[in-house]
Amino acid sequence: MALDLSIVGRASQPATLSYDWKTLATYALGVGAKRSELAFLYEGTPGGIRVLPSFAVVPAYAPVMELLAGSGGDMAMVVHGAQTVRVLAPPPSEGTVETVARIDAVYDLKKFAQVILSTESRIRGEAVFSTTWSIIYRGAGNFAGPRPPENEAPSLPKDREPTFSVREATTPEQALLYRLSGDPNPLHADPAFAEKVGFPQGPILHGLCTFGFACRAVLHAACGGDPTRMKSFSAQFRRPVWPGDTLVTRGFAIDGDRVVIDTRVEERDESVLANAWAHVVA
């Protein structure tokens, strides 16, 4: 199936998600939170349970999938290219989020097509999150379309030691836990399905789960665990991660308020998140 190029500018229907402490704790556990991070897991936290910045992808998932399903492209050929989340206002410990997604662009990558989507999430009319999604359709390129703009992510420093390094193992059940937050793709649960689509090693970890692990690492190492200090987090997905892999996230503070990130799988010594960086404030 060929992509319908007229989808640029198309908006989704408003999607609502009501969340409470169980929603937030399930997501936090899905991206590796430990009992030492009780503020993100326990409803009795003074002032209410805290919201991880990367939770912004959860209310955005349904409207993004709505638009992709209507794109005309083959959903079996989709891979996640990159993700950005922005926290526009501190979200409450519970609430109902209304999210609208929009297709901003379709780019020609020769063999692939790249679809760029953006979302905005509001609670009681106030914008709390925005996100940008890069979705790759394998085999859908060469339609004489425009090329994407140059990536403006800051470069990874190569001449100095990192400001911090966080090593954390995922569990063999990590993908099964993460999928409870809204992504039930069988690629992350069913060994037969995973082998059929090219992963004989078994189900892979959700890219957004790896994204959440790295975001947590930056949150604790660069923001003192305070989610109000992280304004945005962005990364490209470079290679798959399998449940049980050990992730090592290194951060390099630059320019006062930016942290450049490199996340690697320790067992294979390969980068799995690239062009990654966070905007943090004092």
**DSSP string covering 232-277, please?**
EEEEEE-S---TTPEEEEEEEEETTTEEEEEEEETTTTEEEEEEEE
CA pair distance 5, 137, nearest whole angstrom:
13
Catalytic option among 30, 32, 207, 212 = 207
| 73 catalytic per annotation | no
Backbone angles phi, psi at 135, to 5 degrees: -115, 130
Catalytic option among 30, 204, 245, 261 = 204
Cα Rg, the chain, nearest whole Å: 18
| 279 catalytic per annotation | no
Catalytic option among 30, 188, 212, 245 = 188
Residue 134 CA, distance from chain mean position: 10
CA pair distance 185, 207, nearest whole angstrom:
12
Shared fold status for 1-149 and 153-282: yes
- What's the fold here for domain 153-282? Thiol Ester Dehydrase; Chain A (3.10.129)
CA pair distance 132, 64, nearest whole angstrom:
10
b or e along 12-50 (b: 16 or more beta carbons within 10 Å of the residue's beta carbon)? beebebebebebbbbbbbbbbbeeebebbbeeeeeeebb
Architecture of domain 1-149: Roll (3.10)
CB 109 within 8 A of CB 148: yes
CB 61 within 8 A of CB 211: no
Task: Please state the pTM of the whole predicted model.
Answer: 0.96
| 188 catalytic per annotation | yes
CB 188 within 8 A of CB 206: yes
**pLDDT (tens place) for every residue of the chain, 282 residues total:** 588 899 999 999 999 999 999 999 999 999 999 999 999 999 999 999 999 999 999 999 999 999 999 999 988 888 999 999 999 999 999 999 999 999 999 999 999 999 999 999 999 999 999 999 999 998 989 988 999 998 888 998 888 999 999 999 999 999 999 999 999 999 999 999 999 988 999 999 999 999 999 999 999 999 999 999 999 999 999 999 999 999 999 999 998 799 999 999 999 999 999 999 999 998
| 256 catalytic per annotation | no
Domain boundaries, the chain: 1-149, 153-282
Catalytic option among 73, 136, 182, 183 = 183
